[in-house]
A and B are shown apart, each in its own frame.
Chain A
Amino acid sequence: MALKILIVDDSITVRAVLRKALQITDLDIAGINEATNGLEALEVLESEDVDIVFTDLVMPEMSGERMIERLHRDGRIDELPVIVISSAGGTPRVDRLRELGVRGFVHKPFTPEQIEELVVEHTGAEV
């Protein structure tokens, strides 16, 4: 199954690095969409099929946390793996995000190997 991936981060640098990291893995990727905040991400999710979401937390307009709360409230997060990649954190915050249904948490900086492992674990993709 070729994967459709959504990257949500206000940093053009992080989006580019994550895209590159995904592309150098052995994952079969059908497409990568990008959004610069939670609101844009929700719009993408309305119109596109997505297999896994990588999201930052601290973003203007709508934070990753608000987006995750929305996906949790709509019940959508049960079907859609969401991985947080962020500098913000602290154990209580990570615990709360897991309660909301977040599948994984990566503290920046990340490696392509970490990303590949998370995609395989949470989508069932084969490499």
Chain B
Amino acid sequence: MMYYGQEIVSVIFLDISERLAFMFGDPVAKDRLRTGGARWVQAGVTFSGATAGCLTLGAPKDLCHEIAANILGLEPEELDDGLMAEDALRELLNVVTGHVVPGLQGEDEAFELSVPTFREMEDGDHDALLQDPNTIGYELDGSPVLLTLSLEADVA
């Protein structure tokens, strides 16, 4: 079952992933996601306006290389270093958030986005995300990702 806003987030995330990174995905029940055995990273963007909150995207580090390569039209091994992969995950989330916020609050409301953040996930972070009802699980080109929409109380 999806909570308020998650249907919007879900449609937009899959659409932007396809248009920006040429990657295809589907929502997957979180208990069916294979999240173990890889190093994970997470990007985050906060937003404020008539609706305020935060959107985060967690993914295996290897998937970030694929996202970057796809966006740039390169092979993953052609990327210079991890910085491009890190930046690509931040940018994917940035673009998704830029479409999610008007989807939640309407096109006629102004909103602000933060500069996207990036961090390495730690042991235990997966479990917290998997148990968070705000988190939706996906498989993106066969890799698991976790997208979390956290809304603050109505600030309008």
Contact = CB atoms under 8 A, between A and B. Distances in A.
A87 B91 CA distance: 9
B112 interface: yes
A16 B87 CA distance: 11
B83 interface: yes
Contacts of A93: 110-111
Contact of B98 (A10, A20, A87, A92): A87
A90 B91 contact: no
A120 B49 CA distance: 35
A85 to B, nearest CB: 11
Interface string B104-135: 00011111111100000000000000000000
Interface in A4-55: 10-14, 16-17, 20
B53 interface: no
A91 B98 contact: no
Given A12-B84, A13-B71, A13-B91, A58 B19 contact: no
B71 A90 contact: no
B98 A107 contact: yes
B28 interface: no
Interface residues of A, number: 22
Q: Is the interface of B mostly helix, strand, loop or mixed?
A: helix
A89 B108 contact: no
A88 B111 contact: yes
A58 B113 contact: yes
Nearest to B83: A12
A58 B72 contact: no
Nearest to B102: A90
B110 A87 contact: no
A16 to B, nearest CB: 6
A90 B97 contact: no
Given A58-B113, A58-B115, A109 B72 contact: no
Interface in A49-99: 58-60, 86-93
B16 interface: yes
Interface of B: 16, 19-20, 49, 68, 71-73, 83-84, 87-88, 90-91, 94-95, 97-99, 101-102, 107-115
17 contacts: A13-B68, A17-B72, A58-B114, A87-B95, A87-B97, A87-B99, A88-B111, A89-B102, A90-B101, A90-B108, A90-B110, A90-B111, A91-B108, A92-B109, A93-B111, A109-B16, A109-B20
Given A88-B111, A107-B98, 7 more contacts: A13-B84, A13-B88, A58-B114, A87-B113, A89-B102, A90-B107, A91-B110
